[in-house]
Each structure stands twice: as C-alpha cells, then as structure tokens.
Amino acid sequence: MDETREVASHAQTKFHDLPHGAASEMINVGVDLFKVGGILGHKSTVSTKRYSQLVRDRLADAVARTGQKK
C-alpha cells in the first residue's frame, strides 16, 4: 500500500481519504446527499450529513451568481 501511494505521488493519502474525496466530487457535480450516502454505504443519513457543508457552499455560490451575465 505504501509503495502504491508513492508511485501515485500521494504518499500522505490514507484509505479513509478516498471515500471522502469521492463524496466531495459527487456533491460538487450535483449528486444529492441521499445518493451519495447510498453509494458510500452509509446506513444513516447522519453519516452523510457531514458533507452537507459542501452542498450549502454550492447553493451560496449559485445564489451569488444569480443575475450575473456570463
């Protein structure tokens, strides 16, 4: 495992980082929290709620951009 992380230039990456990273990516592309929880195998929405800050940030950004020209 350590050698694999070195080859991938991610020596500091831990196994637990992978689901968190995947969840963050899913949320950033618009996958809802219920689906993210299902994909990650969470038995309770409480586990998935830790990612709700990412959703709030996306919503705040969307509101801030409302009315702006491209």
Handedness of CA 6, 12, 17, 22 (dihedral sign): negative
Residues of the chain with pLDDT under 50: none
Question: What is the residue extent of each domain of the chain?
Answer: 2-65
The distance of Cα 34 from the centroid of its chain, to the nearest Å, equals 13
- Which helix (DSSP H) or strand (DSSP E) does residue 9 occupy? none
For 27-41, the pLDDT digits (tens) are 888 888 899 999 989
What is the predicted pLDDT for the residue at 58? 77
CA dist 70 and 58 (Å) reads 18
Structure tokens at 23: 């969840």
